[in-house]
Amino acid sequence: MFLRHMLQELGTALLDFVYPPSCLACGRGMKEAGEYLCSPCWREIEMTAQSRCQRCGCPLERDGADCPNCAEWEPVFERALVLGQFGGAMQQGIHALKFKHHGKLGVEMGRRMGAMLKGELGAVELLVPVPLHAARQRERGYNQSLCVARGLGAALGVRVDDSLVKRRVNTRQQAKLDARQRQENLRDSFCLTGSLPDCGCIGLVDDVLTTGATLDACTRVLMEGGARRVWAVALASPFRES
């Protein structure tokens, strides 16, 4: 897995040398290799931040407004912190992270998220990425949630532990399942690999918070293991204002 990942990165570097680099989100040409996204796309991502429900991450019309999503779903995690809307440059960036072998883009997206939300994430003492099953990780070459967590950890000065939670069932991909099917698909899919460290608040990191089923399933495992507080942290959610 490591060798394949290194060969993929070497191939990307050679392409950058032969062909001018272009933005992974919009395709615009860029002056410098290794920037991943152009300045307008980074600005678009950073401008998607808006008032959101602190419980589930759903966008709100204004701070303090009633959340339409929480009326139908009560998450297990204590609160959710989401950088922005899953669409446009954000969606294209996450697609490049997950499916086009650009793990370092995830690190940079996590770093920028950490810089923007540093005050809100101040209570987090440990970051735990949502794990991939070993077979899925071998196929992809890396865990995209771990990439995001590493960037967040660097920005916040918080330790990342990617060995604490294991995905023991290689479930169907969640993208085409509804909320009920996602919950069933993830039943008993995660387990702890050891004792939890003594910390007040764990930040559980994923790339996208959709229905919350994956983050809820991981949270249950952490809470059963003795976690006192678990916050969900994601780059984006597809929830839209009604």
Mean pLDDT of 87-109: 95
Q: Report d(CA 108, CA 117) in Å as an integer.
A: 14
Q: What pLDDT, in 10s, does the model give residues 22-47?
A: 899 999 888 766 679 999 999 999 87
In the structure, what pLDDT confidence band is assigned to residue 157 with cuts at 50, 70 and 90?
A: very high
The percent of residues in the chain predicted with pLDDT above 70, rounded, is 79
Q: Report d(CA 67, CA 137) in Å as an integer.
A: 35
pLDDT value, residue 242: 35
8 A C-beta contact, residue 124 and residue 167: no
The highest-level CATH class for domain 50-237 is alpha beta
Q: What pLDDT, in 10s, does the model give residues 170-182?
A: 665 655 555 555 5
pTM, two decimal places: 0.83
8 A C-beta contact, residue 86 and residue 50: no
Q: Report d(CA 223, CA 217) in Å as an integer.
A: 10
In the structure, what pLDDT confidence band is assigned to residue 10 with cuts at 50, 70 and 90?
A: low
8 A C-beta contact, residue 90 and residue 45: yes
Q: Report d(CA 71, CA 52) in Å as an integer.
A: 15
In the structure, what pLDDT confidence band is assigned to residue 222 with cuts at 50, 70 and 90?
A: very high
**Terminal Cα distance for the chain, rounded:** 44
pLDDT value, residue 241: 40
Domain boundaries, the chain: 50-237
Helix pair 39-46, 88-99: axis angle to 10 deg: 110
